[in-house]
Homo-oligomer: A and B are copies of this chain.
Amino acid sequence: MNVFETPIEVRYAETDQMGVVYHANYLIWFEVGRTKLVEQLGLSYADMEERGYLAPVLEAHVTFKRPVTYGETALVRTWVKEYDGLRTVYGYEIRNQNQEVCVEGHTSHVIVRKGTFQPVSMRRVFPEWHNIYENVRNETAPM
């Protein structure tokens, strides 16, 4: 299974007055997990941008099961859940130190040209990414 793990220490700035991590911050943690997945596959999102492309989020879904609190180190688990040459769906799971699942979700992305936000085919424009994503795509949910 190609699941990539990134530990995240909760920042005080990420809490809110409920005394837990503010919910929108988990989307930022998803991005940290996604960046790490890309890096660990030997790719670079910064290079993609330098070549004039972006990978914006089209859609996000998040389920909040249990709060994460300051002082904890969370674990973001990320995988390529779907990939069809054009659109990539990343899956995420955030666990606390007791291995309890706190947050689950996915985000979907396409690659677009900077400036116009016109979608392009990852298969055609980034063949190296395409080959790797074909390989790491998980057909079943990770455990």
Contacts and interface: CB of A to CB of B under 8 A. Distances in A.
Interface of A: 9, 11-13, 15-20, 22-25, 27-28, 31-32, 35, 44-46, 49, 54, 56-64, 67, 70-71, 114, 117
Given A16-B17, A60-B62, A61-B61, 10 more contacts: A11-B32, A12-B22, A12-B35, A15-B17, A17-B19, A27-B27, A46-B70, A46-B71, A59-B62, A59-B64
Nearest to A44: B71
Given A56-B64, A60-B62, A62-B59, A15 B16 contact: yes
A42 B38 CA distance: 35
Contacts of A9: 32, 35
Nearest to A104: B59
A28 B24 CA distance: 7
Nearest to A58: B64
Contacts of A25: 24
Contact of A64 (B12, B57, B63): B57
Contact of A27 (B24, B32, B49): B24
Contacts of A32: 9, 11
Contact of A16 (B16, B24, B60, B63): B16
Given A16-B16, A71-B46, A117-B67, A27 B31 contact: no
Contact of A18 (B18, B24, B54, B67): B54
